[in-house]
Structure 1
Amino acid sequence: MAQLFEFEKPIIELERKIAELQKFSAEKDIDLSREVETLEKKVSLLKKEIYGNLEPWQKVQIARHPERPNFYDYAPLLFDDFIELKGDRLYADDQAIAGGMAFFRGVPVTVIAQVKGKDTKENIKRNFGMPHPEGYRKALRLMDQAEKFGRPILTFIDTPGAACDLAAEERGQGEAIARCLLAVSGYHVPVICTVIGEGGSGGALALGVGNVILMLENSFYSVIAPESCASILWKDTSKAKEAAGAMKITAQDLFKLGVADEVVREPQGGAHYNLRQTADELSEVIAKYLVRLRTESPEALQEKRYQKLRAIGMFQEKSV
């Protein structure tokens, strides 16, 4: 069973009652179908009420769910003949970033993604999805290759942020991220970025400069994690819930602000409840935008990407 959140417990309690009634009905040969049907309707209504009115902090929790699908879950459902390429040709292969070539609905593409682990062992291997400089240099190598051969670039963002340890700083973390931003800004191929979980800080932005920004329904994208924001503003990480609401970091908020181009639907409760359905929805949306972008001239793709970035950000002036 998937990990449950506090707000999901009323649903689980009703589902357990349904299971108990069905078991009792089978054992005692008593018809309880009407009672079961009544409870099932209550569950359906309760799910709509809870999942249809999630608070920002609850969406953050779902985005971080340990069983939430990562790139390797989506890859076989989205792509054909995915060939993973490793290493930055300078230092090492960073397991927190995966990338390579594939066919998306018959179109050759370059795919790059941040990858979290599903358990403690895998998370340690992948540094909890926080790439080191060699990860971003690997991404840059693959994106430069895509630009050279005219392949569209699809990125998948899912990171709390870039690695911030001493080794990362010694190997030039800031420079590696900056080079990604600079390079992608000048590419002449279509770039579609999708936030599939967490989109944290500059570590996410390094793969987030695109012609189109897509976000799964329960993902978030932010310059800083809610806990870090709370520790700065209130000196209290327990106020992360308040920070999440104030920061406008959910897919829905960012769509309204013009940062995200489209919110991709997820099954009730999150992508971990139905991987196939989520992948199908994502495939349709990516295909729609890829068809549009491939009709644009290389110069138009570059200019519109620049203008999209320039248009991000809103402010109000108040006279004193």
Structure 2
Amino acid sequence: MALVADEGTFREVPAPTRDSPAGGPLGWDGYDASRARAADRTGEEESVVCGTARVHGTEAVLIAFEFGFLGGSLGERTGDRLEAAYTYAREHRLPVVPLIATGGSRMQEGMLALTQLQRVARQSALTREAGLAQVAVLRDPTTGGGWATLGAGADVILALPGAQVGFAGSRVRPPDADPSAYTAEAQVAAGSADAVVPPGDLRETLGLWLRLLTGSAGEAGPPHALGATALPGTGWEAVTRARSPERPRARAYLDAFFSRRVAISGDRCGGTDPDGVLCGFGERDGRTVAYAAQTGAATRPAGYRTAARLIRLADRLGVPVLTLVDTPGAANDAEAERQGAGAAIAEVFGAVAAARVPVTTLVIGEGGSGGALALAAPGNTWVTPDGYFSVIAPELAAAILKRPVSEIEATAGQLRLRPQDLVELGVVRGIAGAPDR
């Protein structure tokens, strides 16, 4: 708690009281003595402490696990406290920050302990429906149901370096299990957590996340073009300019547009696409805008799923979205098909179509086929002078039409993919940074 809470701001939420029979609900011999020893050792009456505090200036409900109290395990009384904390957060419109260190459900309470996970899941779902953010911090260890509910169910997941993180705790894994798979770093690499944060940076990082996810939201107009200002004369010129390695890419646009930004990572399905799509939340003129930006590479299924996750989260929190389109198209290798490319692209199309918040799109480079269109906002898409949008790349169009290589450039012209063509066709609203015409 002291690691993240601003000094002197923590106030404990009153804990519900529950009368338990001797030995707990199962009459477990020695359970009362174990609880008493845990209380003497830790100074706590249960495995969680819940309250409100400011984190780098932003108020939140904090749920801190005490691992010294029976391994931070979840029992009925733990469930009572967690439910009270989530209820308080909804009543006072506060984000929830679980600071997790748990070995899982409490053996001495049997299935009644395990069913607390359903209570937690219900409270998390109600809080999500209320449009409130949940940012989890994974401490050492974060295993069992605590990871599978409070941790993995959060909107944003941060972790301390080297923390043991996994559904299976160290005593119940297969004997030949690779221990490196059960770490915070491994969970980030697998797309199941967003970032590993050193303890010294945790308060500032968590505070920035909370400020962005709870602050004022501002609609994102299209960024200014950072590259060429003159329009291309031919279709093939538009293609070559968009493919130029000197052209500004997504990071340059994000750095110019936002004063500060933080990234989400991973599709929560075992994949990441850091080379294909950048996703996160940023601050623009003191207001929060979410972003999903293609980087110029072919976008992989995990990238589309991460973008869809970002758009759905922003929509739930009422945060407008900026998308930057820049890809030759979706990855089309065999592995991409095995990873569900079609379903992943469909997710993004659906997320953009269903968004209730404003979505603004700027095509900053290549706009290749449906893999680019999936991120484009219908009726609110713009293009830079060094970008293009096309039903398919000119080379592939020529191949489909059984034309020789010598006709690729002419085919580019026929596709009418230049920025000015796109305006005339009504595909985009306008050209960012282009001179008046």
TM-score range, shorter chain: 0.5 to 0.7
Which residue of structure 1 aligns with residue 311 of structure 2?
Answer: 143
Would the alpha carbon gap of residues 91 and 236 (structure 1) be closer, same or farther in structure 2, given more than 3 Å must change? farther
Runs (5+) with no aligned partner, structure 1? 1-50, 117-128, 268-320
Tell me, what secondary structure is at the counterpart of 1:130?
coil
Which residue of structure 2 aligns with residue 196 of structure 1?
Answer: 364
Would the alpha carbon gap of residues 191 and 236 (structure 1) be closer, same or farther in structure 2, given more than 3 Å must change? same
Which whole-Å deviations, capped at 9, do the CAs of 1:116-160 have from their partners, x for residues lacking one? Answer: 3xxxxxxxxxxxx11111110000111111001000010000000
Tell me, what secondary structure is at the counterpart of 1:74?
helix
Provide the rounded CA distance (Å) in 1 between the counterparts of 2:359 and 2:278: 17
Highest CA radius of gyration, 1 or 2? 2
Which of the numbers 133, 152, 157 marks the counterpart of 2:320?
152
Would the alpha carbon gap of residues 184 and 261 (structure 1) be closer, same or farther in structure 2, given more than 3 Å must change? same
Matched, 1:94 2:279: no
Superposition deviation, residue 211 in structure 1: 4.2
Q: What letter matches 2:401 in structure 1?
A: L
Q: What letter matches 1:207 in structure 2?
A: L
Which residue of structure 2 aligns with residue 209 of structure 1?
Answer: 377
Q: What letter matches 1:103 in structure 2?
A: E
Matched, 1:79 2:258: yes
Would the alpha carbon gap of residues 53 and 132 (structure 1) be closer, same or farther in structure 2, given more than 3 Å must change? closer
Superposition deviation, residue 266 in structure 1: 5.4
Matched, 1:104 2:284: yes
Tell me, what secondary structure is at the counterpart of 1:196?
strand
Provide the rounded CA distance (Å) in 1 between the counterparts of 2:406 and 2:358: 41
Which residue of structure 1 aligns with residue 344 of structure 2?
Answer: 176
Matched, 1:59 2:238: yes
Tell me, what secondary structure is at the counterpart of 1:103?
strand
Higher fraction of helix: 1
Provide the rounded CA distance (Å) in 2 between the counterparts of 1:220 and 1:53: 10
After TM superposition, list the pairs within 5 Å mapping 1:11-22 onto structure 2: none
Provide the rounded CA distance (Å) in 2 between the counterparts of 1:177 and 1:74: 24
Q: What letter matches 2:408 in structure 1?
A: A
Superposition deviation, residue 217 in structure 1: 1.2
Which residue of structure 2 aligns with residue 130 of structure 1?
Answer: 298
1:130/1:162 contact within 8 Å kept: yes
Provide the rounded CA distance (Å) in 1 between the counterparts of 2:361 and 2:307: 13
Superposition deviation, residue 210 in structure 1: 3.8
After TM superposition, list the pairs within 5 Å mapping 1:134-283 onto structure 2: 134-265=302-433
1:181/1:209 contact within 8 Å kept: no
1:190/1:211 contact within 8 Å kept: no
Provide the rounded CA distance (Å) in 1 between the counterparts of 2:385 and 2:378: 19
Q: What letter matches 1:115 in structure 2?
A: T
Which whole-Å deviations, capped at 9, do the CAs of 1:162-212 have from their partners, x for residues lacking one? Answer: 000001101110111112112211111000011000000111011013441
Which residue of structure 2 aligns with residue 312 of structure 1?
Answer: none
TM-score normalised by structure 2 residue count: 0.45
What is the CA RMSD across the aligned residues, in angstroms? 1.5
Runs (5+) with no aligned partner, structure 2? 1-229
Q: What letter matches 2:291 in structure 1?
A: V
Superposition deviation, residue 265 in structure 1: 2.5
Which residue of structure 1 aligns with residue 194 of structure 2?
Answer: none
Provide the rounded CA distance (Å) in 2 between the counterparts of 1:155 and 1:188: 15
Which whole-Å deviations, capped at 9, do the CAs of 1:238-278 have from their partners, x for residues lacking one? Answer: 321101110111110010111110111359xxxxxxxxxxx
Provide the rounded CA distance (Å) in 1 between the counterparts of 2:290 and 2:400: 38
Would the alpha carbon gap of residues 209 and 52 (structure 1) be closer, same or farther in structure 2, given more than 3 Å must change? closer
Would the alpha carbon gap of residues 102 and 243 (structure 1) be closer, same or farther in structure 2, given more than 3 Å must change? same
Would the alpha carbon gap of residues 141 and 243 (structure 1) be closer, same or farther in structure 2, given more than 3 Å must change? same
1:153/1:190 contact within 8 Å kept: yes
Larger RCO, structure (CA 8 Å, separation 6 or more): 1
Provide the rounded CA distance (Å) in 1 between the counterparts of 2:242 and 2:294: 14
Percentage identity across paired residues of the two chains:
40
1:230/1:238 contact within 8 Å kept: no
Q: What letter matches 1:238 in structure 2?
A: S
TM-score normalised by structure 1 residue count: 0.62
